[in-house]
Amino acid sequence: MFTLRRPIASILRKNLHKNVTALSIGHTRSLSSIPSDDFNLELTEKTSPITVFTEDEQMTRDAVRQWAREELQPIVRDMDNEAKLRPEILQALFDQGFMGMEIPAEYNGSELSFTSACLAVEEISRVDPSTAILVDIHNTLNNNAVRFWGSEDLQKQWLPRLATDTASSFCLSEADSGSDAFAMKTTATASPDGSYYTINGTKLWISNAKEAGVFLLFANADPSKGYKGITAFMVDANTEGIHVGKPENKLGLKASSTCPLTFENVQVDASQVLGEVGLGYKYCINILNEGRIGIAAQQIGIAKGCLYDIALPYMMERKQFGSAIGDFQGMQHQYAQMATEIHAAEVMMYNACRLKEAGLPFVKEASMVK
């Protein structure tokens, strides 16, 4: 929550100084220029506020909110204490359609917009970020990667499963490769006839590895080419040679498993390559851009949950010195500040969503909002 403060405050201050609003309806202006449009965007005839959503999006939000409040809220604390996502919750996520949000209906998905998916992640995060992270990674990273770059056969094979019963993990990071993702050491050696690859290596900090039925794995098929050998694979979790290690004992998001993942001579059919060999680096960079918006939705959901669902009601209830503590100006300054910053963040996030949906550049906005 506190990490949001500095970036937003500094962006807003910078812009106030330059007399430019940081956000305007329909498009963002560049920070470094004063009222001249860097983007020659065509404003559509109809403009609408960023915080006004379509009927589909509102219905999605209401449906997710209701489910999260009624089914998830009662057991959040227990799941956190047990450090485990309950199987019935995972099943409910599939049953409710939260795991195939952007997947087309022909593959049993919910065929919603990206903004709807972010709204859903936000609403789940308000109640339980651990559950939300699973939904977020699954939808915005894995499902979308398959949709964007998977061959038709790969899509037919995986999308229905991803929408209805198979959770997934995004396997990129390694012990020596976090921010420097391209320094990965996991290798994928092609068989002599090219019909399969043999994977060897260890991934670290892989979210939801315990629950996943499939891994979107990044491995280098040709280390001599450096990062241009990195290839994305869909690896079935049941494949021989995969070992999911013990979940990390984290301080937070405990119900979301974060595990080491070892691949020992794991054979993966060549048909399971996502997109083209050697383009994995491109895919992962691209998909992580969207992932940033999704994760921002999660943070905003957490912040809103803290302020609006827990702190404010308590402030209005707790009485000291004869009145509710929420009536004291000292408290009011604080929660007004928080509410304003959360609002700024959410508007930034939904704007990034809209830019993406419009097919416009959104990388800068996505990075800012994360």
Q: Name the residues that contact other proteins, by CB under 8 A.
A: 55-56, 59-60, 63-64, 66-67, 95-98, 100-101, 105, 108-112, 120
Please count the CA atoms within 13 angstroms of the CA of 137 that sit on its side-chain side: 24
Taking the least distance from each CB to other proteins, the nearer of 110 and 256 is 110
State the burial class of residue 348 (Cβ atoms within 10 Å of its Cβ: 0-12, 13-18, 19+): buried
In the complex, least distance from residue 66 CB atom to other proteins, rounded to whole angstroms: 7
Taking the least distance from each CB to other proteins, the nearer of 41 and 59 is 59
In the complex, least distance from residue 25 CB atom to other proteins, rounded to whole angstroms: 22
The β-bridge relationship of strands 212-220 and 167-171 is parallel
Please count the CA atoms within 13 angstroms of the CA of 228 that sit on its side-chain side: 2
Taking the least distance from each CB to other proteins, the nearer of 8 and 137 is 137
In the complex, least distance from residue 61 CB atom to other proteins, rounded to whole angstroms: 11
Q: What are phi and psi of 350, to 5 degrees?
A: -70, -30
Single-letter amino acid code for the residue at 206: I
In the complex, least distance from residue 317 CB atom to other proteins, rounded to whole angstroms: 14
* Three-state DSSP state, 240: coil
In the complex, least distance from residue 113 CB atom to other proteins, rounded to whole angstroms: 10
In the complex, least distance from residue 356 CB atom to other proteins, rounded to whole angstroms: 20
Q: What dihedral angle (degrees, nearest 10) is formed by the CA atoms of 291, 83, 301, 357?
A: 20
Taking the least distance from each CB to other proteins, the nearer of 95 and 276 is 95
Using CA atoms, how far apart are residues 343 and 345, in angstroms rounded to an integer? 5
Long-range CB contacts (within 8 A, 24+) of 83-89: 83/247, 83/249, 83/254, 83/255, 84/255, 84/257, 85/130, 85/131, 85/134, 85/208, 85/211, 85/255, 85/256, 85/257, 89/131
In the complex, least distance from residue 210 CB atom to other proteins, rounded to whole angstroms: 25
* Three-state DSSP state, 9: helix
Nearest to 83 by CA among 248, 213, 207, 203: 248
DSSP for residue 360: -
Taking the least distance from each CB to other proteins, the nearer of 243 and 318 is 318
In the complex, least distance from residue 60 CB atom to other proteins, rounded to whole angstroms: 6
Taking the least distance from each CB to other proteins, the nearer of 101 and 167 is 101
* Three-state DSSP state, 21: coil
Cα 248 to the center of its chain, rounded Å: 20
The partner residues of 91 in beta bridges, in order of sequence, read: none
Taking the least distance from each CB to other proteins, the nearer of 100 and 294 is 100
Taking the least distance from each CB to other proteins, the nearer of 61 and 370 is 61
The answer to whether 211 and 167 have CB atoms below 8 angstroms apart is: yes
Taking the least distance from each CB to other proteins, the nearer of 60 and 258 is 60
In the complex, least distance from residue 120 CB atom to other proteins, rounded to whole angstroms: 8
